[in-house]
Amino acid sequence: MKIVVHDTATAMLELLQLPPQERPEALRTLLAPLQEAMAAVGAGEVDVVQMHTMTGSGFPLDGEDPRLAAAVRQLRDAGVWERIEQCLATAAERLAAEIPAGTRTPDTVHVLPVLGNPDDHHLTVRSSGYFGLGGFPGAIHLTIWPTDISLERIGHAAAHELHHNVRYANVVWNPATVTVGEQVVAEGLAEAFVRDLAGEHAMAPWTTGLKGKGLDEAYAKIVGGIDVAGMQNLTAYVHGDATAELMGQQPVGLADFAGYGVGLRIADAHTAASGLSAAASVALPPGEVLAHAGVPGSTA
């Protein structure tokens, strides 16, 4: 598995010097590896530039905002690209050592760190300045706005997404049939993998933010909906009500990113019962992980 971390810093600085009407096409060129990875799994009808702009988390393509180029330089000066490369090298080495024989991996994984929108509350506040997309084997997209937390943990986020990349080279992800169970298992295993690599501090802050009674209540609600299916129904269970409402989906009464903490609890129960690490579990069907974790009544 070859990992290529693209020099998106140079590409973004050049893009920001272009007239606004030329920027979308330049961004499409920058994100071409993601478009190709999406097309390979049948999601190519979704345009990467529309993805960048429709959620509001990608950096604005119009206007002249001096904060944008300054932030790209800050990320570059902080060694973000090098940190991502180092974390991914460590993650790939661990996966190679622990995944079962016959587990499929992408031949090449293209990694695309992209600047976020400084005025997007979902990114800068709710998500602490960063998040990733790695469910399309062959590409990892990282959105980042420089904050103390994002600069520290963006490399670990890349490792989380690499776990997803390998998982979805083996586990079929169908937007019509994917369940809450699959989504929380995937997030929990990926966060446990990050913790195995670099310690608890490396995990996303939202994974460990829900504790005690709040986590117990979220666990009960998510386990109660473990077989809810369809991508349009999952956001509230995994990312919480606020994110679901942002995407025009129905809330279910869950805090931000509740599915990550619950997923980690499930992953930990699975690894304790099975003796398998998060890396070794990367391609397991969700039902097997849930059964090891003692989640009742699931056919996920």
Residue 63 pLDDT more than 90? no
- pLDDT tens-digit readout, 72-109: 999 999 999 999 999 999 999 999 999 999 999 999 99
Cα distances (angstroms) measured from residue 64 to each of 146, 234, 243: 19, 37, 28
- pLDDT tens-digit readout, 136-165: 999 999 999 999 999 999 999 999 999 999
* Mean per-residue pLDDT, 201-216: 95
| Amino acid 263: pLDDT | 98
CA–CA distance, 147 with 222 (Å, rounded to integer)? 31
Q: Which two tokens stand for residue 91?
A: 């993650």
| Amino acid 170: pLDDT | 97
The backbone region for 185, taken as left when phi is positive above 0, alpha when psi lies in -120 to 50, beta otherwise, is alpha
User: Quick one: which of 139, 122, 128 has its CA closest to 37?
Assistant: 139
Burial class (CB in 10 A: 0-12, 13-18, 19+), 272: exposed
Model confidence band, residue 225 (pLDDT cutoffs 50, 70, 90)? very high
Q: Which two tokens stand for residue 212?
A: 């005690």
The backbone region for 142, taken as left when phi is positive above 0, alpha when psi lies in -120 to 50, beta otherwise, is beta
| Amino acid 66: pLDDT | 97
CA–CA distance, 234 with 130 (Å, rounded to integer)? 21
Give residue limits of the domains in the chain. Answer: 1-170, 175-300
Q: Which two tokens stand for residue 160?
A: 């989380």
Which residues have CB under 8 Å from 1's CB, separation 6+? 92, 95, 96, 105, 106, 107, 108, 109, 166
Model confidence band, residue 44 (pLDDT cutoffs 50, 70, 90)? low
Q: What is the pTM of this model?
A: 0.96
Model confidence band, residue 43 (pLDDT cutoffs 50, 70, 90)? confident
Q: Which two tokens stand for residue 92?
A: 């790939």
* Mean per-residue pLDDT, 13-21: 97
User: Quick one: which of 10, 54, 11, 17 has its CA closest to 31?
Assistant: 11
Q: What is the mean pLDDT of the chain?
A: 95
| Amino acid 300: pLDDT | 60
CA–CA distance, 29 with 260 (Å, rounded to integer)? 33
In degrees, rounded to 5, the angle at the alpha carbon of residue 231 between the alpha carbons of residues 227 and 235 is: 85
* Mean per-residue pLDDT, 19-33: 97
